[in-house]
Amino acid sequence: MQIPVLDSRKRPLMPTNSVRARLLLKMGRAKAYWNKLGIFCIILQKEVEPDNQKIVVGIDPGSKFEGWSVVGTKQTILNGESEAPWWVKDAVEVRANMRGARRFKLWNRAGKQNKTPRNRTKSKIPPSTYARWNAKLRILVQLQKILPITDVAVEDIKARTLKATKQKPNRRYNSNFSPLEVGKSWFYNQIKESGLTLHLKQGYETKALRDCYNLKKVSNKAEKSFNAHTVDAWVLAASVSGALKPTWLGLFYWVPIRLHRRQLHAFQPSKGNIRRPYGGTRSMGLSRGTLVKHIKYGLTYIGGTLKERVSLHSIATGKRLTQNAKPSDLEILTTTHWRSQLIPILKGGVSVAQK
């Protein structure tokens, strides 16, 4: 794995190896930095004129899991696998039901003939579809901030053909009405607007590239290993950058942190018919999801708050470690909305998750 490097103005430079990064930190010529994906970087203490080469990001989209790989002309810079947000559809439905229940209790409420629905976005994409594709875009943006990315290679997934499409092939049901087609078109436009060069590959082309590089893909989609989803992302990127073989088989595993937005009160009352306040995105003046270093629990992120204390959660599993952490005992690192876990590789070339 290569270590991302930024200059004093936080402009991305070509990454370096871990030995040189450790030497720069020891000599005081660089300082440590974690970005919002939990990736460790170094920031040089001087301004450097960039002399960057071609770096390609490969993306293997999926309904539940997605593969990521950043590949240069020779080296594999980093690999990743992410989980897609799955809770948006149910959360929107619950929000609509609770809003309808509140409005039902109001008297003499003015009509809403000329009002615009609150959940209508400018892009007119369904909320669950927008959340999934926007999550991909947010990961890409964070990678672009620490690496001089020039190209993006994506496997072009397509919606299943409807029966009506087979009967009447002149009707374009998939491209006009499928949330998958609408979401990916929005994602592709965002990539092009960011100044990156987009390369699209079909599924059979990805399979041919795997065979060309003599790489195998496992059948278990939930496996946290290079050969689950990242292998497809790597061959997509390597086909554009010109890399010959993967030089690092480890990966980062990213899970979006679910933040419960502030509600008027909890849905279910406690004893005495008392409804406590519920939700929020800040704890003791700190954003929830902030990456911190605790004197006892190490690298964690901030959760909820209780009695002027904050809860700390594991960045690997999301499990709550304590509810009694003092804000004065925390070293603030950065704000993140992803749980990040680095899955290394053993000497035999097998990942920890595979073994």
151 and 293 both lie in a single domain: no
Burial of 111 by CB count in 10 Å (0-12 exposed, 13-18 middle, 19+ buried)?
exposed
> Which pLDDT does position 328 carry in this prediction?
87
269 and 249 both lie in a single domain: no
> Where does a domain end: 256, 289, 323?
256
Residue bearing tokens 């000599």: 27
Q: How far apart are CA 243 and CA 237, in angstroms?
A: 8
Structure-token pair, residue 111: 């009509």
Between CA 296 and CA 307, with CA 302 as vertex, the angle to 5 degrees is: 85
Residue 190 falls within a domain, yes or no?
yes
133 and 80 both lie in a single domain: yes
165 and 289 both lie in a single domain: no
> Where does a domain end: 201, 230, 256?
256
Who contacts 105 (Cβ-Cβ below 8 Å, separation ≥6)? none
Q: Which domain holds residue 235?
A: 52-86+121-256
> Which pLDDT does position 164 carry in this prediction?
45
Instruction: Please answer whether residues 217 and 231 qualify as being in contact, where contact means their C-beta atoms are separated by less than 8 angstroms.
Output: yes
Which residues of the chain fall short of a pLDDT of 70? 105-123, 159-177, 264, 346-355
Residue 93 falls within a domain, yes or no?
no
- Over residues 87-96, the pLDDT tens digits come to 888 888 887 8
Instruction: Please answer whether residues 43 and 6 qualify as being in contact, where contact means their C-beta atoms are separated by less than 8 angstroms.
Output: yes
251 and 137 both lie in a single domain: yes
> Which pLDDT does position 352 carry in this prediction?
43
Sign of the Cα pseudo-torsion (257, 263, 266, 267, in order): negative
Residue 147 falls within a domain, yes or no?
yes
186 and 312 both lie in a single domain: no
Question: Beta 56-60 vs 65-71: how paired, if at all?
Answer: antiparallel
Instruction: Please answer whether residues 42 and 5 qualify as being in contact, where contact means their C-beta atoms are separated by less than 8 angstroms.
Output: yes
212 and 330 both lie in a single domain: no
Q: How far apart are CA 251 and CA 301, in angstroms?
A: 20
Residue 222 falls within a domain, yes or no?
yes
Residue 103 falls within a domain, yes or no?
no
Beta bridge partners of 5: 13, 42
283 and 142 both lie in a single domain: no
Fill in the amino acid letter for 158. Answer: K
Q: Looking at residue 147, which CATH number applies to its domain?
A: 3.30.420.10
270 and 322 both lie in a single domain: yes
Who contacts 312 (Cβ-Cβ below 8 Å, separation ≥6)? 292, 294, 297, 300, 301, 302, 303, 320, 321, 322, 325
For residue 325, the Cα-to-chain-centroid distance in whole angstroms is 27
Structure-token pair, residue 184: 């990916």
Q: Mapped to the 3 state alphabet, what secondary structure does the chain carry?
A: CCEEEECCCCCEEEEECHHHHHHHHHCCCEEEEECCCCCEEEEECCCCCCCCCCCEEEEECCCCEEEEEEECCCCEEEEEEEECCCCHHHHHHHHHHHHHHHHHCCCCCCCCCCCCCCCCCCCCCCHHHHHHHHHHHHHHHHHHHHCCCCEEEEECCCCCCCHHHHHCCCCCHHHHHCHHHHHHHHHHHHHHHCCCEEEEECHHHHHHHHHHHCCCCCCCCCCCCHHHHHHHHHHHHHHHHCCCCCCCCCEEEEEECCCCCCECCCCCCCCCCCCCCECCCEECCEECCEEEEECCCEEEEEEEEECCEEEEEECCCCCEEEEEECHHHEEEEEECCEEEEEECECCCCCECCCC
Residue 286 falls within a domain, yes or no?
yes
Residue bearing tokens 């943006």: 141
Burial of 186 by CB count in 10 Å (0-12 exposed, 13-18 middle, 19+ buried)?
middle
74 and 205 both lie in a single domain: yes
Residue 348 falls within a domain, yes or no?
no
173 and 250 both lie in a single domain: yes
The number of domains in the chain is 2
> Where does a domain end: 234, 256, 278?
256
263 and 249 both lie in a single domain: no
